[in-house]
Amino acid sequence: MSGPSSHVIRGSVSLPEAELMWRFSRSSGPGGQHVNTSDSQVELRFDLARTEALPPVWKERALERLANRLVGGVITVRASEHRSQWRNRETASVRLAALLAEATAPPPRARRKTKIPRGINERRLREKKQRADTKRGRTGRDWG
């Protein structure tokens, strides 16, 4: 992370701290008696539909790819693995940044079809026939 005020997604684009909504609650899991009194579970929400921090193309891409995870245009990330709230906050923000980085990544380049040279194709078919003949010769007819 590049400091407390922003969470870098990719390149010069980062999430402004002002647009992140944090919520803390009691966590289940490890922690002993301490866990009953501290709000160590972190829920980080980011309004993807209304943000101006992302380039329009990225935003469109993310809204499309994360459609099944959005609730009213808001993406939510939870973290409760650690006993300390601070570490859970860090985990949640890294997770959100990674999620958005993946969702805004450009689509992979289209695959270019390649033409298989005729000679290679013919050789493959020849070898295939030969293998079939070898296997046909293995049937147990003459063994009786």
Please report the pLDDT score of residue 86 as a whole number: 85
**What are the residue ranges in the chain where pLDDT is below 70?**
1-6, 11, 27-37, 141-144
Please report the pLDDT score of residue 22 as a whole number: 84
Tokens of 48: 């993807």
Q: Measure the CA dihedral 9/10/11/17, to 10°.
A: -10
Please report the pLDDT score of residue 3 as a whole number: 45
Please report the pLDDT score of residue 108 as a whole number: 84
Please report the pLDDT score of residue 34 as a whole number: 63
CA distances to 1, 39, 59, 70, 125 from 96, in Å: 12, 20, 14, 13, 51
pTM over 0.85: no
Please report the pLDDT score of residue 30 as a whole number: 61
DSSP state of 12: T
Please report the pLDDT score of residue 1 as a whole number: 41
Query: Which of 20, 37, 39, 40 shows the shortest CA–CA distance to 93?
Result: 20
Query: Which of 129, 95, 110 shows the shortest CA–CA distance to 7?
Result: 95
